[in-house]
A and B are shown apart, each in its own frame.
Chain A
Amino acid sequence: MSDDKAIEFRNVSRTFPVKQDNLIGEVKAVDNVSLEIHNGEFFSLLGPSGSGKTTSLRMIAGFDRPTSGQILLYGQDVSNLPPYERDVNTVFQDYALFPHMTVGENVGYGLMIKKIARSEREKRVDEMLDLVQLLGFSGRKPAQLSGGQRQRVALARALINHPKVLLLDEPLGALDLKLRQQMQIELKAIQKRVGITFIFVTHDQEEALTMSDRIAVFNQGRIEQIGSPAEIYEHPLTQFVAGFVGVSNLISGDTARRITGSDVQFSIRPEKIHLDAMDGRPDPETFSAEGKVRDVIYLGLYTRYLVDLNGGGDLVVVEQNLKTTSMDVMKAKGQNVRLSWKKEHASYLGG
């Protein structure tokens, strides 16, 4: 059923020519990417800068075109349509408000272009400003607004046309932490209310985990993994995802063989590891390793232990300070300990 797919990438590539030291080559910004984004989803494109997430977004918007492959918007091939013929709107990283227009004119711009009558336009502008809690700001100029307010104007301007898909290009990047967290919750609430598919580009893994229904993790122009926040976090499929989303211990080679009996590389999250004294026997349902605590870092909410494994390698372990104090945890330094974790918490990495 094609209606369920808001956006579909079919083997999309985008290469850019580059000139360096008089050599002309090309760089693959997006490399043979296929993905499906469902109707009504909050979908994040997560990755470091230069990973192809922004280029992918720009190709959906129409500012860039694929070198090869197809992009479908609700089943229609839009790969070569100009931006103004796509039912998609964008919230820009720098907001891109029109400085010579008032807030009301900015928000109503899309309707003005569509030649909607002024009275109707004003009514819908007020509705939109109400949605983003800026009712009464219609007559101001963008320069008179704070960063958070400009952000809201940009959102209202992009939503007024009721696009099929809303694209957001790191829209929260310029805001301070408190405001960003507030806007994260608000964006999610607005998305639920308007029911439009949101595609959100970010390099902030925490932001992606907080807001998304599903996440695509980009690296070097390719998608490493697509999944729900929990899937991505709990079961990273590649070394890159394990390292980029949250903190992971990566174990491979001899150390992996000693623990699991196989050479296959795996990752284990620091908070899944139990740290026990050496007495007793390891539970057969767990993987375990023995070592000596090299360092203890007390961080208030939790404590981070760095443990050297007997026979080589090290692991980071995190434990919440539920009953302990800084005095208690510091005693662990230099102690021999047994580390153990449930077998299902180890994620085996492909490749």
Chain B
Amino acid sequence: MPSKIPAQPSGERASWGLKLGAFGAILFLHIPMWLIFLYAFTTDESAYTFPPPGLTLKWIPQAIANTAMQDALFLTIRVAALATAAALVLGTLAAAAVYRHDFFGKEAISFMLILPLALPGIVTGIAMRSAISLMHIPFTFWTIVIGHATFCVVVVYNNVLARFRRSSNSMIEASMDLGANSFQTFWNIVLPNIGTALLAGAILAFSLSFDEVIVTTFTAGNQQTLPIWIFSQMLKPRNRPITNVTAMLVVLITALPILFAQRITAGHSDSEGGSK
């Protein structure tokens, strides 16, 4: 009888136990989301009965026609767009300063820039609310934008700084050497080289802002962003399917761009600062 061939070392192929574990973890993470998708199509009005008694598409037009949902959605998009725009400018400038110059307190400033992403949202929220109250600024659309910008800046800063660190500094010198002034150098050399980092940073920042709840709660007046509107809807069982449709919409708006951002930076592996 021939001797048994020893089992493949674990580096070659995952064991059944590991496969099972990985599969279980994916199920654990994703089943709740799939349930939301499923119940976006249920014929049930209010209760979650499993399996759903029937499937229908009627909630989708109802959800889209819901004016409260529309208001919340447009507010959220405006906040995310403005916070992202602010983050692009401030984050790029901060990254350029930290990369190009040595100055007193550089390490501290770098740390302080990253802090809002690491801090629990509740701390940022309380801090923002106190500061805004102390300065007697009314809580408006703009205070939400400012609150969101604090963590959006970090994402852009991280992405752009990582890109700067990988690109040769002499490229900028070469451009100026060949007759380009600072503006021409930024436009022709710097911008194309950090372009994908900016796009990835912007998409991540937009997604972070889009589904943010905690900081928004603290910095908003009576405005309701989409996540907050969804949360308030959970208390009204009547509209559950509409809420589920909206949740599905949020997944599409936030998850797809993140996948796209990962793709465009895949070759660079420099998208730092994941999610908050």
Contact = CB atoms under 8 A, between A and B. Distances in A.
Interface of A: 61-63, 82-84, 88-90, 92-94, 96-100, 109-110, 112-114, 157-158, 161
Most chain A beta-carbon contacts within 10 A, residue among B171, B173, B177? B177
B173 A109 contact: no
Contacts of B173: 61, 63, 83, 90, 92, 96
7 contacts: A63-B177, A83-B173, A93-B170, A100-B193, A113-B180, A113-B188, A158-B178
Contact of A83 (B168, B177, B188, B192): B177
Interface in B170-229: 170-171, 173-181, 184, 188-189, 192-193
B178 A82 contact: no
A63 B175 CA distance: 11
Nearest to A114: B179
A151 to B, nearest CB: 14
Contact of B179 (A84, A94, A98, A99): A84
Interface residues of B, number: 18
Given A99-B193, A100-B193, A89 B177 contact: yes
Contacts of B174: 90, 92, 96-98, 157
A161 B179 contact: yes
B106 to A, nearest CB: 12
B179 A113 contact: yes
Contacts of B170: 92-94, 96
A83 B171 contact: no
Ranked 7 nearest A-B pairs via Cβ: A96-B170, A96-B174, A110-B178, A83-B176, A100-B192, A113-B179, A92-B170
Contacts of A94: 168, 170
A253 B258 CA distance: 76
A331 to B, nearest CB: 56
Given A83-B173, A99-B193, A100-B192, A113 B168 contact: no
Interface string B77-104: 0000000000000000000000000000
A320 B176 CA distance: 51
A61 B178 CA distance: 10
Contact of B175 (A62, A109, A114): A109
B189 A84 contact: no
B44 to A, nearest CB: 54
B184 A98 contact: no
Most chain A beta-carbon contacts within 10 A, residue among B178, B189, B192? B178
B177 A113 contact: no
A112 B189 CA distance: 13
Nearest to A86: B177
Interface in B158-172: 167-168, 170-171
Given A90-B174, A158-B177, 4 more contacts: A61-B177, A84-B176, A96-B171, A112-B188
Contacts of B192: 100
A109 B171 CA distance: 12
Contacts of B168: 94, 96
Contacts of B167: 99
Contacts of A96: 168, 170-171, 173-174
Given A96-B170, A100-B192, A100-B193, A110 B179 contact: yes
